[in-house]
A and B are shown apart, each in its own frame.
Chain A
Amino acid sequence: MIKYEQIVREIKEAIKESQTTLPDWVISKLEDIKENETKKAKEQIETILENIRIAKEEKKPICQDTGVPIFYVKHGTQLSLDFSLSKALKEVTQKATQEIPLRPSIVSPWERKNTGDNTGDKIPIINYEPVEGSKLEIIVFPKGAGSENMSKQKMFNPGQKGEVIEWIIDSVQEAGPKPCPPIFLGIGIGGTFDYSTQLSKEALIELPQQSQGKIRELEREILEKVNSLEIGPMGLGGKTTALDVKIKTAHCHTASLPVAINIQCWANRKAKRVFEE
């Protein structure tokens, strides 16, 4: 039987891992582009890599914006828990905030009062997905506001398909230096108004896994066009504005074409834990 204390202990460690280290594939991508860049752009990437090294060595959060706490949970239908997982993830958020520590960044939306422990109404955000089997998978995905603030959604008419790529590129152009480029671009196409945004965030989670066929071609085309904007690392000019693009799709109503983009800064922080009975 999976225990409440085990979840709290191990997910707290996963949060610490996500805040103080980056996945190897993200670091490789940054190292690769460093070789391609010159002058200011290269210096920015060098600073980023040095920061990643220091954060890991000193076990400190990479960025002071330790983000909105978000969890993605895949819950095996044959698995039963004798406690509330939502309660455990709320407690782990509070403990992680105090012990790692994390910056308390969560406020009430209108009064703007900081709760002090990174929890609040509906926070942490927990996305539950029932799956076959008896495992429990939890992904920790803290999301900083700099890049989240630049994200967008648009309900296109089906006849406006030809305008979608341009809208995406314009959105990245408009975001410019603000989301801390080089960025990752998560794109959701299809579903409904809200579901397209959900897909765009799930696309970011699925990286570095790549799409297939026509969608992969579309990802490549968007990546190329985004990088031709030459916004560059931190917006100071350069060849790399985006490190990768991932599209996730769903079918949709014949009358609509919902598209969403979710921007992620270079600090693509993520950690996963799998629990079995």
Chain B
Amino acid sequence: MSASPAPALLIDDPAVLVEALQRQGWRVIGPQARDGAITYDPLTPGATLPKGLTDTQEGGHYRLGAGDPGRWFDYVVGPQSWKKHLFPSRQKLWEASRTDDGFAVTPVQDDYPKTAFFGVRACEIAAMEVQDRVFDNGDFADPGYGRRRAATLIVAVNCTRAAATCFCASMQTGPRAKAGFDIALTELATGTGLLVEVGSDRGAEIVDGLDLPRANAAHRAEAEAASAAAAAMQTRAMPPGMAGVLAANLDHPQWQVVADACLSCGNCTMACPTCFCSDVEDVNDLSGDHTERWRTWDSCFTVDFTYVHGGAVRRSTASRYRQWMTHKLSSWEAQFGTSGCVGCGRCIAWCPVGIDITAEAAAIAASPVPKE
């Protein structure tokens, strides 16, 4: 996606853009209010975008409720991330059948039509770019992921408010998307529409057909200010330099403190938009003549995750929490050249007991174990 010099435009109703995408043959996946939360599901033709909703989030707490009825995007990230579409939670890799002289492998058709993700937040674009380094990296690429990613158009929504669990500003991943989108929307003062920015040629093609009015400098300034306000209202932050701090504090007593609270349930890793671990399972039928290989989301919080002959390596919850957090914030940088955390706050909100990664980081940073 190349940066486009196209001028910013204005749109009154974001649903017009959804309909335009659908008319042009895009499957649109976007926010839906389902089961008391914002989820990312395919928008059937005629489906309405949620409006007038806002969320309240804290450690282990999420409530979707009524907000300003005139506003489209006053909620922020919910329980799911776009990961579930690019890296499905359960996926058949191949199947095989017994033949007279061995077995024959049948590859699986990966049916992913051209798809527009509608309403992608800046931290979520950052998360996709983190997963790109894991799955779409040349030497060890996952071809299915690469195909899905290439067939996906990104319509970003810049946040104009933050939840109490958000800390993207401290991770430098938001709240304003600088790149990585085809089209970006920023909601202006209630009732005055949304700023439309174009980030790629294919984004421009879609927007050109809508005959939208041009935005002026004041609109742009207002959008920038709204994003700045969303950054300023963030109450959580990741302390700086955690990669080094954690690497130097592998025996810190805080690991046991957090383990006493941790359920080792795996919710943080499932909700995280960058966690990428999977398990592979062979499923044969009763006759033994047919088998399938399935890949499913796995978590470093399970015992089986480190099972080798004779037992599991990480038996204690302290060792498993430490693995997750040090990988996310420290060894990820050595492995992939970025932090594995984008500051979306899902691991805080969707932890049933509200464990807060920023608080855990701060506790260790505040009392490092002295070097012997």
Is this pair of chains taken from one and the same complex? no
Binding site for B on A (CB under 8 A): none
